[in-house]
Amino acid sequence: MSFENFPDSEKSAQPTVQPPQNKWRNYLTAGLIIALLGTWAYIIWDKSKTKETIQQKDLVITNTSTQRDQLQKELEDATRLYDMIKTNSANMLHSKDSTITRRDREIAEKRNKIQQLLSKVGATQEELAQAKTLIASLNGDIAGYRTKIETLEGEKIQLTQEKNLVTTQRDKIIKDFDSATNVIKQKEGVIDVASTLHASNFAILGINEKGNGKEKETTVAKRVDKLRISFDIDENRVAQSGSKNLYVLITDPSGKPLAVEAFGSGRFRTRDGKELYYTQKVDINYTQGQRQTISIDWKQNSDFTIGDYKIEVYNNGFKIGEGVRSLKKGGLFS
């Protein structure tokens, strides 16, 4: 086996050649490093954007919550004002008109709508904006409600004043009327009393009726068939012309009133409230200011007795005159 030995100088003189694949490996490595750096840069940027988005969302949520709390407070303030107006106007609301009733209903509906929006989980900005608009409208409604209440209260005060004035005037009129009525009654009472008739010139005769139809005056009790009573109604310029009632009472010697219903007797009441029997009622047609003579006969279904027969005449509840006739026992030649 043989070996050739070459000089070292020749060996060192040959050039060194770099393989081509090493160059591309460097390029690839650099590209990978750049891509890796870009990826990390993107990840860092994306994380930053995500954090920013989360922060923005948190800010939106915070702002939404704050806005909702503010709107809730505004609703509560409006509700408190509305309730205060209703409480202060409780007396007025008992008699409220249709306008107040309608506004009550509208305000209640609007409050419920606002509360529904504010109570909604995840309410949007649009819904909160709608709630804000409704609250502004609600405040306007409450202001109008208060104005209407104040108007009604003003009208009520005016009506109360007018009522008090009318009541005062009415009371004065009633008082004046009562006073006038009392005066009129007093005058009517005076006129009524003054218009009571007066009887005078009593003539009471015992009459004996003969068989031939002739009559003879007698004072013998057993011969008297009837009493003829006559008297005058004096002039009275107060009493009005017209029909007048006279009640004639005859009392026998024993003090018993002669009253026979079959002969027209009955009862009447005097001005002092006493109830008396009357023997006969006489209706006369009186003429104002003129004297008038009245004559009646009383015939009873029993014999007349000895003694005094008292005759009383009443008009308008007053006794207006009286007379007495004494009947005696007959003698031998009477």
The token pair that represents 12 in the structure block: 């060192």
- Confidence check: pLDDT of 10 > 50: no
The token pair that represents 323 in the structure block: 């007379």
Residue 286: pLDDT band with limits 50, 70, 90: very high
Q: Are residues 180 and 292 in the same domain?
A: no
Supply the pTM of this predicted model. 0.50
Q: Are residues 145 and 212 in the same domain?
A: no
The token pair that represents 38 in the structure block: 């870009």
Q: Are residues 166 and 235 in the same domain?
A: no
- Confidence check: pLDDT of 26 > 70: yes
- In which region does residue 122 sit, left (phi positive, over 0), alpha (psi from -120 to 50) or beta (all else)? left
For range 157-166, the mean pLDDT: 84
Distance between CA atoms of residues 73 and 63, nearest Å: 15
pLDDT digit string, tens, across residues 97-112: 667 778 778 888 888 8
107 in a structural domain: yes
User: Comparing 99 with 249, which gets the higher pLDDT?
Assistant: 249
332 in a structural domain: no
pLDDT digit string, tens, across residues 60-100: 566 677 877 888 888 788 788 877 777 776 665 555 566 77
Q: Are residues 203 and 321 in the same domain?
A: yes
User: Comparing 100 with 114, which gets the higher pLDDT?
Assistant: 114
Specify whether the CB–CB gap between 248 and 205 falls below 8 A.
no
Helices (H), the chain: 8-13, 20-88, 90-93, 98-119, 125-194
- Confidence check: pLDDT of 14 > 70: no
- Confidence check: pLDDT of 305 > 70: yes
Neighbours of 247 (CB within 10 A): 22
Class of residue 65 by CB neighbours under 10 A (exposed 0-12, middle 13-18, buried 19+): exposed
Q: Are residues 216 and 184 in the same domain?
A: no
Q: What is the pLDDT of residue 288?
A: 94
14 in a structural domain: no
For range 23-40, the mean pLDDT: 81
Q: Are residues 285 and 141 in the same domain?
A: no
7 in a structural domain: no
Question: Which of 173, 194, 215 represents a domain boundary (last residue)?
Answer: 194
For range 211-216, the mean pLDDT: 88
CATH number at residue 307: 2.60.40.10
Q: Are residues 221 and 143 in the same domain?
A: no
148 in a structural domain: yes
Q: Averaging pLDDT over each range in 136-140, 180-184, 281-285, which range is the top one?
A: 281-285
Q: Are residues 156 and 55 in the same domain?
A: yes
Element (H, E) at 281: strand 280-286
Specify whether the CB–CB gap between 270 and 262 falls below 8 A.
no
Q: What percent of the chain has pLDDT over 90?
A: 36
Q: Which domain holds residue 274?
A: 199-327
Residue 231: pLDDT band with limits 50, 70, 90: very high
Helix, strand, or coil (residue 95): coil
- Residues constituting the chain: 334
Question: Which of 165, 194, 223 represents a domain boundary (last residue)?
Answer: 194
User: Comparing 200 with 148, which gets the higher pLDDT?
Assistant: 200
Q: What is the pLDDT of residue 93?
A: 53
* CA-angle at 171, arms to 169 and 176, nearest 5°: 95
Distance between CA atoms of residues 5 and 36, nearest Å: 53
Distance between CA atoms of residues 64 and 121, nearest Å: 11
Q: Are residues 172 and 249 in the same domain?
A: no
User: Comparing 106 with 47, which gets the higher pLDDT?
Assistant: 106
Total domains present in the chain: 2
Lowest mean pLDDT among 18-27, 275-284, 307-316: 18-27
Distance between CA atoms of residues 230 and 203, nearest Å: 5
Q: Are residues 187 and 231 in the same domain?
A: no
Q: What is the pLDDT of residue 9?
A: 47
User: Comparing 94 with 39, which gets the higher pLDDT?
Assistant: 39
User: Comparing 321 with 9, which gets the higher pLDDT?
Assistant: 321
10 in a structural domain: no
6 in a structural domain: no
Q: Which of 208, 299, 306, 295 is nearest to 252 (CA)?
A: 306
The token pair that represents 55 in the structure block: 């922060």
What is the overall mean pLDDT for the chain?
Answer: 82
Q: Buried b / exposed e across 249-269, counting CB within 10 Å, b at 16+?
A: bbbbeeeeebbeeeeebeeee
Neighbours of 128 (CB within 10 A): 19
Specify whether the CB–CB gap between 228 and 204 falls below 8 A.
yes
Question: Which of 194, 223, 238 represents a domain boundary (last residue)?
Answer: 194
Q: Are residues 214 and 168 in the same domain?
A: no
Rg (Cα) of the chain, in Å, rounded? 65
Distance between CA atoms of residues 196 and 174, nearest Å: 31
Q: What is the pLDDT of residue 55?
A: 64
279 in a structural domain: yes
Q: State the number of CA atoms in the 13 A half-sphere of 328 facing the CB.
A: 6
Q: Are residues 180 and 234 in the same domain?
A: no
